[in-house]
Amino acid sequence: MCLGVPGKIVEIYQADGLRMGRVDFGGVQREACLEYVPEAQLGDYTVIHVGFAISRLSEEEALTSLEILREIVNLEEETRTDVRGGELA
């Protein structure tokens, strides 16, 4: 399964002839290629998959997606068990 994660474009620049950007994922920033979404602008939310922006999102869609991802992580942590079936501390 592949996972695209929404992030906010905080910087746009050219590198080796490619349109690139710095994308913020709730405090963690990563570089991403913006070539597949030429309409993306500074402040836009995009879905990033393996370092490539693949679509734009509204702020509402992005924040909803991020909240769902947080809930999934929290649920996984709450229900994690070791191989013997006991709960991990």
Q: How confident is the model at residue 83 (pLDDT cuts 50, 70, 90)?
A: very low
Can you give the pLDDT at residue 22? 98
Query: Using the 8-state DSSP alphabet, how is residue 87 labeled?
Result: B
Burial track 35-63 (b if 16+ CB lie within 10 A, e otherwise): eebeebeeebbbbbeeeebeebbeeeebe
- 58-78 confidence digits (pLDDT tens): 999 998 988 888 888 888 887
pLDDT at 84 over 60: no
Residue-averaged pLDDT of the chain: 89
Can you give the pLDDT at residue 89? 53
Going from N- to C-terminal start, the domains of the chain cover: 5-79
Q: What is the CATH number of domain 5-79?
A: 2.30.30.140
